[in-house]
Amino acid sequence: MSTDVGSGSGSEATATDTGPDTAAGGSPSSSINPSSVRAVAKKDFRDSIRSWMFWGLSVFFFTLLVATTGVISYFGDDIAAQGQTTEALVAMVNGITRLVIPLIALILGWKAIAGERESGSIKILLSLPHSRKDVLLGKLIGRAAVLSVSLVVGFVLAALVVVALLGSFDIVDYGGLLVMSIIYGLAYTSIAVAVSSLTRSTTVAGAGMFGIFVLFYILWDTMLVAFMTLMNMGYLPEGETTAQVMLFFNSLDPGMAYQNVLSLVTSVGDLDGQTVMMLENMFGSVPFYLQDWFAFVILLGWIVVPIAIALFRFDRVDL
């Protein structure tokens, strides 16, 4: 069983997966060949799914979900009596996945490219008919598939526990939470693979992953508090524009977008009536950046933008 999630050992087996179609990839530094992307992704997925890290993270995630369902089952009678079993489950699972999924995605993506560059295997991989874009996209798809499998397994097993203990729950809400959790995980996987492609050192890449986690879980909120403090001290003008800037900035946080988008697919997460009334009094209506559809756009943006920047830069770095 591999101890690494697919890095540093992909060249040999990828060569066996590469079909004749990949030889028609054109310029190896600028083209994208779907067959070549698929070959890299397939090999990366197989390496990652066999790693102890994948199974360790999956067991960790499953344990957290089961612990959550255990808490719900303990108070199940009271929650069920209020008809809020599904709401309680989705709300509690959402609180866990918002923190745990980024950790899993960042760890899975840490060595995706940096590990290949550090070991030198990236040059062997690129000597095959794979362009740099093929490798980058293949790694992203492979790691995203591994993360998705881990989430699906964890969610399904936890659901079985809930059904066994509580009888039943709303599968539509639960399925919606799973789909949005996968999209949320894809966003962090894209960020992780993009950062991994920026350096040839796994140590630096690991520091980058830690920095990303600190950015979204500590600094983002700290900056909001700093803005509010400056506004209260008179260094920033009080008014509708300043409030809109702060709310818009807050909505760009992937975790906040994940929380907001749940109202698009589940019966929980909607803005409460008091908040809606306050926003309508301030701005005349609920701003577009606080609505669930825009939260979905933000999550898609966190998937597309990081990997697009990485595709542009990775074509031009000296390996």
Please tell me the predicted confidence (pLDDT) of residue 210: 93
Distances (CA, A) of 149 to 98, 113, 146, 184: 17, 21, 5, 14
For the stretch 248-304, pLDDT in tens is 999 999 999 998 888 887 766 566 677 777 887 878 888 888 888 999 999 999 999
> Distance from first CA to last CA of the chain, Å, rounded?
29
CA–CA separation, 60 and 58 (whole Å) = 5
Tokens of 241: 């524009």
Distances (CA, A) of 68 to 93, 95, 154, 266: 7, 10, 12, 19
Please tell me the predicted confidence (pLDDT) of residue 24: 39
Residue 85 has pLDDT above 50, yes or no: yes
CA–CA separation, 146 and 124 (whole Å) = 24
Query: Computed over its alpha carbons, how large is the radius of gyration of the chain?
Result: 22
CA–CA separation, 161 and 66 (whole Å) = 7
For the stretch 190-248, pLDDT in tens is 999 999 999 989 999 999 999 999 999 889 889 888 888 888 888 877 778 888 888 89
CA dihedral 54, 192, 39, 146 (to 10 degrees): 30
CA–CA separation, 25 and 36 (whole Å) = 8
Tokens of 270: 């909607």
Residues 6+ apart with CB under 8 A from 45: 6, 141, 142, 145, 146
A 10 A CB-CB count for 46 gives 16
Average pLDDT value for residue range 65-72: 74
Average pLDDT value for residue range 80-100: 72
Please tell me the predicted confidence (pLDDT) of residue 269: 59
Q: What is the pTM of this model?
A: 0.84
Residue 162 has pLDDT above 60, yes or no: yes
Residue 81 has pLDDT above 70, yes or no: no
Please tell me the predicted confidence (pLDDT) of residue 78: 62
- Per residue, the 3-state secondary structure of 126-155, as one string, reads HHCCCCHHHHHHHHHHHHHHHHHHHHHHHH
Please tell me the predicted confidence (pLDDT) of residue 278: 80
For the stretch 5-55, pLDDT in tens is 544 444 444 444 444 344 434 444 568 889 999 999 998 998 888 777 778
For the stretch 104-149, pLDDT in tens is 899 888 889 999 899 888 888 888 888 899 999 999 999 999 999 8
CA–CA separation, 12 and 50 (whole Å) = 16
Average pLDDT value for residue range 88-103: 81
In the DSSP assignment, the letter for residue 270 is P
Tokens of 76: 């199940």
For residues 159 and 76, is the Cβ–Cβ distance under 8 A?
Answer: no
